[in-house]
Amino acid sequence: MKTFIYIPICFIFLMSCHQKKENKKIGYEQYITVLGIAQDGGYPHIGCQKVCCADFYAGRKERKSVVSLGLVDLQNQQKWIFEATPDLHTQLADLEQNHLKTKTIINGVFLTHAHIGHYTGLMYFGREAYGKKDIPVFVMPKMKAFLTNNGPWNQLVSLQNIMLNELQSDSTVILNKKLKVTPFLVPHRDEFSETVGYKIEGTHKSALFIPDIDKWYQWKKNILEEVKKVDYAFLDATFLNQKEVKRAMIEVPHPFIDETINLFKNESLTTKNKVIFIHFNHTNPALQKNSKERIAIEKLGFRFATEKNNYEL
């Protein structure tokens, strides 16, 4: 009888120690983790019959989740996610299984704008799926109005599945004593809401997150100077260059990677190394880590976001 009681107690103790070690395996107390890197349509892309997606179906390339960052604070046992993508269910599972498991599925969701890859994952919080109450969702005023006044999103609000927290541009949200987040407006195709990027600050380091913007020259701020102020800059890399897709770029304006590289060409290697490209269209060869285009850009000092990469704050 004593043996029977003793074994489970030891087992529980060992499991508890093991879980604590697992939570510490990243090596940082507060950090950003990359949960997705693809443009709204993901990779592989719907209807694509080109070699870029054919390589996936032939087993030569791995699936890529839609652009998202996780923000983890192991010390305070809190976690947040940037963007509610169509892959939100697996991205939240990634946070829980590989970073921090708590009773709360997420401490908050920060949205940038109302394009499909950035907010439609909210559907998973509804009665058909997770169905719990008061998930904090941080949104700008127009985004709040869009979700409140349009179905099916307004059902999430009326049933209190989500709790909308209104943001103001350039006004900082204090998450805890270690972390804070500041939204800022950027020019983009604002059919349904405004578009923001975020500055994420820890006690040691800080990051920019700008997955979508029309062109750098249209922004009231200077991207060179903004990158110099932080340690990491996750920047829009939807298309490599003008030749990538046979479509009028005026319909889907983004800064080409080539344009961003050209802007930073005279900057120091230290500054270039802060740039971490993210939000890749499925046609973008730089989406694939062994492509010659990506390797050439890395040799210039720029970096690329890769799922599961972690960055200390």
Q: How far is CA 6 from CA 2, 3, 15, 19, in A?
A: 6, 5, 14, 20
pLDDT for 130-165, tens place per residue? Answer: 999 999 999 999 999 999 999 999 999 999 999 999
pLDDT reported for residue 175? 98
pLDDT higher than 80, residue 166: yes
So what's the pLDDT on residue 289? Answer: 86
The pTM of the full predicted model, rounded to 2 decimals, is 0.89
Per-residue confidence (pLDDT) for residue 140, from 0 to 100: 98
Mean pLDDT of 262-274: 97
- Say which CATH topology domain 28-312 has: Metallo-beta-lactamase; Chain A (3.60.15)
pLDDT at 96 over 60: yes
**pLDDT recorded at residue 214:** 92
- Any alpha helices (H) in 127-268, and if so which ranges? 141-149, 153-158, 223-228, 257-263
Q: Looking at the chain, which runs of residues are DSSP E strands?
A: 30-36, 68-73, 78-82, 109-110, 135-139, 162-166, 173-174, 180-185, 196-201, 206-210, 232-236, 275-278, 303-304, 310-312
Q: What's the pLDDT score for residue 98?
A: 96
- What percent of the chain has pLDDT above 90? 74
Average pLDDT over residues 88-105: 97
Q: What is the mean pLDDT of residues 5-30?
A: 50
| Mean pLDDT of all residues belonging to the chain | 89
How does pLDDT run across 28-68, given as a tens digit for each residue? 999 999 999 999 898 788 888 888 777 778 787 788 899 99
